[in-house]
Every structure is written in C-alpha cells, then in structure tokens.
A and B are shown apart, each in its own frame.
Chain A
C-alpha cells in the first residue's frame, strides 16, 4: 500500500484512509477500530465524519471496536462477540438498555462513565479470556460467568435465539431449561 505521508497527524491519516476506502463508492464500509489510537477530540471528528458519509452516500458501515462508547455513538445495530461467537445481537437501544447475555451485562457495568453512579470499585469480569485452544466445553463464557449453571452450561453450546427485541445465546433464556425448572 502506498505510504500515507508520515507528517500527517493521526486524525488526518485516518481521514485519508477513509477517503481511499470511499473512492470507489462502496455500498459498505468495514472500519476496524478506526479511532482506537486517536485522542477523544479527533475520535469524535472521525466518528461524526463516518456518520455524515453514511447518510450522504447511503452506505452501510460495519464498525469493529472494543469501545462501548464508540458503539453507542454511531451504531444502529450491535453484535457482541465472545471467543469468536456472537452471544447477543439487537438494536443499539435494546442491547445497551436491556442487555440479556451475562457477558454483555458485565461489559456494560465494567466501564466507568462520566457522570454515572459513583462506585468505589468497578464490577470487573473475573479471570481472562481463555486461550483459543483451551475453549471451555459448552458455553465458552461459563468459566467467567456469574450465572453459570453446572450441568447445563457445560453440556452444550447455547444457540442464538430470539428474546424480545434481541437475540441471545444463553441457557438462562432457553425454554428447555424453563421446563426443567
């Protein structure tokens, strides 16, 4: 790839990248962590730019990021992934205001928020993401899950199923389990 001149600031470089990606009038733009290395001010400009271009060119955007604030800022629909699988999917309001999967819930609780409820400690997800070769049996998240149900979650992999406004892959919501209870 042609080197983008190194005297450009991070924000200008990122804009040049977006301009290059848009030069052939795509129907869809995939942006992988487009603002992760940038300052909040520059990040806000890039996100506003992406939102404006999306309107103008009537294009779809797939934004890949670990920053929940960025998602809330630009996305209409959200898919939450854990160890290579989508564990929850829905419109941005459902996922942020009524998260169903314990992983989504824990993620949203572990980010500090400006002006949010002051907590002395942040609720952190225990442990770490397992090594990809040491994937737990059944639900991959069960080893870190606060709602782990022995004998259920370690037996089979939960499927993504419709729950109200969103879809979730978790045995807390599966009907067979409700029957067992």
Chain B
C-alpha cells in the first residue's frame, strides 16, 4: 500500500474570463497552475497563501467539485487500489465522496438555514448508508458529541448558532461518512482565539481517534505552524515552496515565504521595531504578469531581469522544493 494517500501531478485549473456572449474568450484566470505534490497518510498538510492564491480552488479540484483543466489526482484509500479522480465518472465519485470530505470556508453560507441539524449533518448518510429514523438520529447524535456539541440540538436550525458552533457542525458533517481525507478550508479562521484553540484541539483529537489525513488550508501562519506537518506556500496559483514545517518556519527559502512570515503580527510588543525594519514599504503591484515569468517578481526585492523574462525552475534545496531562480543564493 502506498504511503501517499494523495498524489497530485501537474494540476491546473483555468477559469475563462467572462467575455462577450458570442466571442469565445481567450484570456483565462490561472487559479491553479501546474501544481504537483503528495500527501502522506495520517499527516496534516498545510496550504497557505494570500487571498486569491488558489487555495480553495485547489481544494475543490481535489474534491472534484471542479474538473481540473489539466493534471492528475491519484487517491489511494486504506487497503484500496489507487483511483484517478480527474477521470472518474460520477458513480465512482459518489463512493469517493465518502472517503474525501471538505469543511467549507464560510460556514455561514455553506450550512442551509432551512435544514435542521440532523439533516445538515446526516443527509449524506440517508443516501450512502440508507439510514433513517432513530438509527440516523443516533448516529448524528454521536457525531455531534464527537465535536463537542450537545445532541439536544438535533432538531434546531443553524441560524441560532454561534460561529464556533457552526464551524463544529461543518466538521461533524465532514466526519459523518468516516472519511480518510478531510480538506479543511479555513476551518478556524473566523473564530476568536479561545474558540479557535478549542477547535484546533478537537481536530487533533479526531485525527488521532479516526486516523485522519488533513489538508489544512489557512492564511494564519501561526495556526499552520501549530497543526501542520508539511506546508505548501501558494502564490497566484503556484506552489512556490513546499517544505517540512520546521524547515519552512526556521529557514524559509522563497522570498514570498519570507515576506509572509515578516508580515505576521506577533503577540510580543518587544519584537515590534525589529519587525517593522525588516518589512520595508513594499507596494503590492496591480496588473498582470506574463505567464512565462516569475509571478512574484514585481514584489520581490531580489528580482533581476531573468525573473521578469523566464519562469523559475523548481529547485530542490535541503529537501525543500522552491520555485525561484535564485533559491539557495539569496
């Protein structure tokens, strides 16, 4: 059995820019561009990057809510043969959707306010396991208890719940089918610190209990450092650095990773002057970059002509994959 639960190769997702009704649009949004990585069974794989870097799109491709423009995604469940998700048909995908589940960004809009909790969490079980009546109620009650919610809320509607409770409902729904892989998209981002800590602890407990693998999408680097084993840093659709957590945070190699780390506010007022000095006053440029150049070049303090004229190769440095012409030199 492969150690990798997921192997993604050359994955791209391009959206057509909406053009006129009769003209075929030629320009595209390269939301995900030639991304390759693998996820080990049982690990927490982090995906970080700024808004619009393609994190959610990547998650939706893995879930096969979207059909990628190019590339392959191979999923290998426990004691199962590898399955190629990109070319799978709907009937095969329906069985895969029990194994791979997503906690959606923005629980506000992903939980139907007209459905009671038992349906939100248990709907998938009606179909996949033909559960109903008290069997369904029992199962959903157990799931609610697992995520620290009281079973009494079974027949209540999500409108009355707090952000933290809704986030837990989203997690309970994802766990309903005993999945092996959970794609958690900004699962704790909307929560205040104490509820966030509770939810992170919960996710770790559930991971141990059910031997889950997480793809943990987030923009909060401190949270990612806390919970992840390996981290992919995305910039405009590409993975610009992929490293073990310790290596990434102690010895970031891509200038973008460094910029992100320098920008994180640290709850320590004595670090303030040092951090402000390191940041400088970089403007975020607007306007497109040629696809065959380094996408980060317009913001990069080290950019040379070569960066503006050719795509950087993927380099391997100390076991870290870095997409930068000058990786290892700067």
Contact = CB atoms under 8 A, between A and B. Distances in A.
Interface of A: 9-11, 39-45, 47-48, 51, 66-73, 75, 92-93, 96, 106-108, 110-115, 120-125, 128
B276 A114 contact: no
B232 to A, nearest CB: 17
Contacts of A42: 50, 284
Interface in B194-209: 194-198, 200-201, 204
A126 to B, nearest CB: 8
Interface stretch (B35-43, B172-180, B217-225, B322-330): B217-225
B272 interface: yes
B73 to A, nearest CB: 27
A72 B194 contact: no
Given A48-B279, A69-B266, A114-B249, A40 B221 contact: yes
Contact of A10 (B51, B200, B219, B263): B51
B21 interface: no
Interface in B268-327: 268-272, 275-276, 279, 281-282, 284, 286
B164 interface: yes
The 8 closest A-B pairs by CB, nearest first: A69-B265, A124-B197, A112-B226, A125-B194, A122-B197, A44-B263, A110-B197, A40-B263
Contacts, number: 117
B27 interface: no
B260 interface: yes
Nearest to A115: B249
Interface of B: 50-51, 162, 164, 192-198, 200-201, 204, 219, 221-223, 225-226, 249-250, 259-272, 275-276, 279, 281-282, 284, 286
Contacts of A47: 265
A18 B265 CA distance: 20
Contacts of A113: 222, 266-268
Contacts of A43: 263, 265
